[in-house]
Structure 1
């Protein structure tokens, strides 16, 4: 079952706009056919745009949706007369006739959702794990289609863990891999950054970074996630490690006490110029 957002300018029920939709086990939320209404509220799994009558308005809405930093598939609902008006510049992922049967509507939704969550094409520079998308080219990350505000080291740490799903790393190993050999701070820096990452991932996703008590951390892929995930499938079994976060420092000291390292700043490679329009992770202070 998916959460579907239906954008329409008509004062009608979903069953009148796309009759077959009422026969499917999806949760449908109806909103005004405007960009403001589309981006308000929780991010849906798919968006249906009612283009049965106002083709010009629907086209503008779709183009506006494509300008948003969201990976949500958009399907246009059209009549037989409006079918020929839909072109590639609309930015729609698919279209469906108002009279389509439930089997066809379900198939189009399923395929659109599958493409959105599928494997990133080779050379795209993206790592995917479920709803988490990391772009190695623009130094940016998104969760559920929303941009995450990460510092450079937070981004590097998250990327490194995602590249090696299931593999357990000690704090010393993470410090060496992410901060480099010339970093002189203590390993508590890793705990602080993990705590910040979990907070930015949100309560529903903080368990993606699992704690292996008295050892370190590992990335725990979401169940059923696809995409270009990392190189290693190893790691401890569930009986040896869990994905639940804990206070996390080596000696039991709360994370808040694990302040910045005693000496030196966070040194390391500096990202190159980002593509225009990207939101690169900014440097740690």
Structure 2
């Protein structure tokens, strides 16, 4: 399994919510306790409400009470398979979006999951960011949730359109590389929250660079030159803690 650093800060402001305005609900099902907790924490950072289960029996029981909007489901479980869990869940909620997790890379395993009714899958090892992005896409397609902010993130006079990938500061366009865009998107999804280098490495680069955490400093400096140059700064360094993006005062 690729090393994945878990975020430990509280939930951020989400742009997806249930029609009644309450947080999106996701059920995470995996018998690897550490992995389930990592995925759960990454989803909580989206502002979503999360429950987890370590086997199929608990998954079906929890789903009946919790009524999730989507399920992250491991194919291999200790009591019965994720395909059986899917069958039981869909018997009660026919269009429930399901994202499969699988350690197996064979094409027939992927086909089996999708044929059984799974909406999408990720193969272990995977990045937490990939799981979040795929879930967001499934939720939007399901129409079980609504978007309160569309695809545009706004912090102060800084805007980022996740669909067109356009960024503006004070109405002026800002040209970013793909990595700079992902870094800024992560910062803007978590405004006024201090993000550690470990959190940024995991969410932007998808794995642990070990002693090379200075790559975060490098890309923060790139962003500052494009976002803050000649303007009131928005990206701040919190010594010993990480970085935070705040509206200019």
Normalised-by-shorter TM-score class: 0.3 to 0.5
Q: Provide TM-score, normalisation by structure 2.
A: 0.38
Structure of larger gyration radius? 1
Higher helix residue share: 2
